[in-house]
């Protein structure tokens, strides 16, 4: 059972209506009708998106002090400073003193892979971060109480799609990635999909304090402040304007966390190209991406840590007389740096740790035609199979464990 869930059943989750706004200071939330909840905080909650599951929520091993009433005014999240390494106190202080900067909030950012979808997780102080979020999230205290208690708040669409039937979200595609109960479905700031508290951030191996939210308020345009922030942070961080669309003018960061596979993949920066493609840092590509010969498929291009396991799996497929079950002409590749179509979320193909086999007969949403004996061999060699997902993708295999070929 995932760490933090042992010894407790699944809690009722909190669903919120997504709206936007940047004013107010009470804990009431317009447009949300509270109903009684089993929350250990005693706070009201809205209807459970996983009906029929009941328990006392919270994870004592990851709990922090609960937030009090919201007394500070709500602020827009205008700019995001994001670095691969923690931002120094001096850097944060210099940004906070700039003319036009109304408020700042330091937090930690990283990505986790879930069902081939790489989502961004923020580790925050729930008491202070909340005032930068949309009004229905900021003003409803149970959201931040649940985060303080050790649960995760995630955007509504992703939460319903990625959490298991009991409302547990595994933070990473690794077999050893921890599971965290979804305490709230709540809108977040742009570029952030899920929020946990700082104690969870430390256990996830996040680089603590590697990001800074900046609010310029209503009277100063973020574009006026950005050049001064860029001069302060230099090459150590990107400074992007937050809005409904991705700021493609700046360098982005991919920092995969959540387990042993994520740790072995490495962190890279990238720039956004056209048609959803990205260009990772050439130094990361040179150090990690390899083109090698493997059985059945021939020459493939993947991350170096995956190639030995892929070769071992395909060798066993051949030895078991199943080579004909994999069609080389229907192989759709491994390393493909891109966003998932129609989103600004990376695919695990961008890291070179996923591959697609026998594409025509194994489309998304189907049970797939791939031989289940081949699937069993791939699982043995440290691969998860997309056919096991709630929304199936039976062509898809992704590395989820480090297995040493002998």
Helix, coil or strand: residue 96: helix
pLDDT in tens, 359-392: 999 999 999 999 999 999 999 999 999 999 988 9
Instruction: Please check whether residues 142 and 235 belong to one and the same domain.
Output: yes
Question: CA 149, 152, 158: angle at the middle one, nearest 5?
Answer: 160
Token digits of residue 375: 């699937």
Taking Cα atoms as reference points, which of 119, 131, 199 lies closest to residue 155? 119
Token digits of residue 400: 């989820």
pTM > 0.75: yes
Q: Evaluate whether residue 1 is within a structural domain.
A: no
Instruction: Please check whether residues 42 and 119 belong to one and the same domain.
Output: yes
Instruction: Please check whether residues 125 and 174 belong to one and the same domain.
Output: yes
Query: What is the side-by-side strand order in the sheet with 268-272?
Result: 252-254, 268-272, 278-280
Q: Evaluate whether residue 126 is within a structural domain.
A: yes
Alpha carbons 167 and 51: distance in angstroms, whole number: 10
Taking Cα atoms as reference points, which of 91, 294, 305 lies closest to residue 211? 91
DSSP 267: -
Which residue range forms the structural domain that includes residue 167? 14-254
Domain harbouring 342, CATH code: 3.30.1380.10
pLDDT in tens, 170-198: 999 888 889 999 999 999 999 999 999 99
Burial per residue of 388-398, b for 16 or more beta-carbon CB atoms within 10 angstroms, e otherwise? ebeebbbbbbb
Instruction: Please check whether residues 168 and 298 belong to one and the same domain.
Output: no
pLDDT in tens, 17-44: 333 333 333 454 443 323 233 343 344 4
Instruction: Please check whether residues 226 and 327 belong to one and the same domain.
Output: no
Give Cα 173 to chain centroid, integer Å: 10
């Amino acid at each position: 059972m995932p760490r933090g869930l042992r010894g407790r059943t699944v809690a009722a989750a909190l669903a919120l209506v997504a709206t936007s706004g940047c004013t107010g200071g009470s804990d009431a939330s317009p447009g949300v009708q509270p109903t009684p909840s089993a929350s250990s905080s005693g706070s009201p909650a809205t209807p459970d998106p996983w009906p029929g599951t009941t328990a006392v929520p919270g994870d004592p091993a990851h709990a922090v002090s609960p937030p009090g009433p919201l007394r500070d005014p709500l602020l827009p999240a205008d700019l995001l400073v994001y670095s691969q390494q923690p931002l120094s106190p001096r850097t944060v202080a210099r940004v906070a003193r700039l003319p036009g900067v109304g408020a700042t909030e330091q937090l930690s950012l990283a990505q986790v892979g879930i069902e081939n979808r790489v989502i961004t997780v923020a580790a925050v102080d729930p008491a202070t971060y909340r005032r930068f979020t949309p009004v229905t999230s900021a003003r409803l205290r149970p959201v931040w109480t649940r985060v303080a208690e050790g649960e995760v708040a995630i955007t509504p669409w992703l939460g319903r799609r990625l959490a298991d039937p009991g409302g547990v979200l595994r933070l990473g595609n690794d077999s050893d990635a921890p599971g965290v109960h979804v305490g709230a479905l709540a809108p977040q700031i742009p570029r952030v999909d899920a929020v946990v508290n700082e104690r969870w951030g430390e256990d996830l191996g996040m680089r603590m304090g590697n990001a800074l939210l900046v609010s310029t308020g209503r009277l100063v345009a973020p574009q006026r402040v950005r050049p001064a922030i860029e001069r302060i942070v230099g090459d150590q961080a990107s400074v992007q304007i937050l809005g409904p669309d991705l700021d493609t003018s700046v360098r982005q960061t991919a920092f995969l966390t959540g387990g042993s596979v994520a740790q072995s993949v490495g962190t890279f920066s990238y720039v956004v190209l056209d048609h959803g493609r990205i260009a990772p840092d050439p130094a990361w590509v040179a150090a990690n991406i390899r083109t090698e010969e493997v059985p059945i498929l021939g020459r493939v291009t993947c991350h170096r840590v995956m190639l030995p396991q892929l070769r071992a799996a395909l060798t066993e497929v051949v030895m078991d007389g199943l080579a004909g079950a994999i069609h080389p002409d229907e192989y759709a590749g491994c390393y493909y740096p891109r966003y998932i179509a129609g989103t600004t979320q990376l695919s695990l193909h961008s890291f070179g740790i996923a591959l697609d086999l026998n594409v025509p007969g194994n489309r998304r949403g189907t049970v797939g035609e791939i031989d289940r004996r081949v699937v069993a061999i791939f699982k043995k060699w440290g691969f998860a199979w997309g056919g096991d997902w709630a929304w199936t993708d039976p062509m898809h295999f992704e590395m989820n464990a480090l297995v040493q070929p002998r």
